[in-house]
Structure 1
Amino acid sequence: MDDALAAHLQALERALHEPAVRGDVAQLAALLDDDFSEIGSSGVCFDRAAALAEIPRERAQVEIVSTDYQVVLLAPTLAQVRYRSWYVVGGERQREVLRSSLWRLRGAAWRVVFHQGTPAVP
């Protein structure tokens, strides 16, 4: 995989963790594919409309810390980004979550089409 593309996709994933992006529906919508769906670490499933409504509500409550990124190109227009994350609430690190996102290239823009969070074994 091209290092520049891997860095770009990691930066896009990290942007989804930023409070400024999470709180701005227009910025968030620009990163979520029209076909976006998510299986959250809580087990709740979201489509794009639900994610655009829910994510801005939670932005002020959490900080997201992430590490151990791996990016794999699955096809010329599809890539997987895997990593570990933690929510930090009130200065306290919460449980670790293993995350996986599928990013799809449409036109000139990469957008996340699927995301899943799975609680890590303590």
Structure 2
Amino acid sequence: MDQETLAELRALEESLWRTETRFDDELMDKTFAPDFFEFGRSGRTYTRDEMLFGQSGFGEINATLPLPNFRARYLADDVVQVTYVSEVVYDGRKELGNRSSIWSRIDGAWKLRFHQGTPTR
């Protein structure tokens, strides 16, 4: 994978962990594919609408950036799997998770199709 594509995917993935971008519904509407869904770290399944609308009341996201162990690989032309470890502090306690996202290039732009978080401890 070329460095430009890798940097673009890293920036997109990290935008999900930055308070100023994650709760920007207009930006996230452009980021999430119409068929997006997520298996959350909690085990709950989230739809696109649940991830987009009405989350602005959530607080600061206290995640380690850049994302640790960030990797990306092509699964097919214009389809990439991104993996990394999330390190997020909730109520003073660091929680780790293995993360995986599937991005598809649709009409020239990367769209997030699927995400999964799995706790590591």
Structure 1 segments of 4+ aligned residues over 6 angstroms from their partners: none
Q: Rate the CA distance shift 1:61–1:18 in 2: closer, same or farther, 3 A.
A: closer
**Native 8 Å contact 2:17 2:61 kept in 1:** no
Q: Which has the higher helix share?
A: 1
What SS does structure 2 have at the residue aligned with 1:68? coil
Q: State the Cα deviation string for residues 58-97 of structure 1 (Å, max 9, x = none).
A: 3x2431223110100111110001000122235x342100
1:64 match: 63
**Aligned twin of 1:75:** 76
**What is the match of residue 35 of structure 2?**
35
Identity %, equivalent residues: 32
CA distance in 1, matches of 2:56, 2:29: 11
RMSD, matched Cα = 1.5
Amino acid at match of 1:62: I
Question: Higher strand fraction: Structure 1 or Structure 2?
Answer: 1
Taking structure 1 as the reference length, the TM-score comes to 0.89
Give the whole-Å Cα distance in 2 for the aligned partners of 1:25 and 1:18.
Answer: 13
* Matched positions, count: 119
Moved more, 35-44 or 62-71: 62-71
How far, CA to CA, are the matches of 1:55 and 1:85 in structure 2? 20
Bigger shift: residues 48-57 or 27-36: 48-57
**Counterparts of 2:55 and 2:17, CA distance in 1:** 10
In the alignment, structure 2 segments of 5+ residues that lack a partner are none
Once the 2 structures are TM-superposed, how far is the Cα of residue 57 of structure 1 from its aligned partner? 3.7
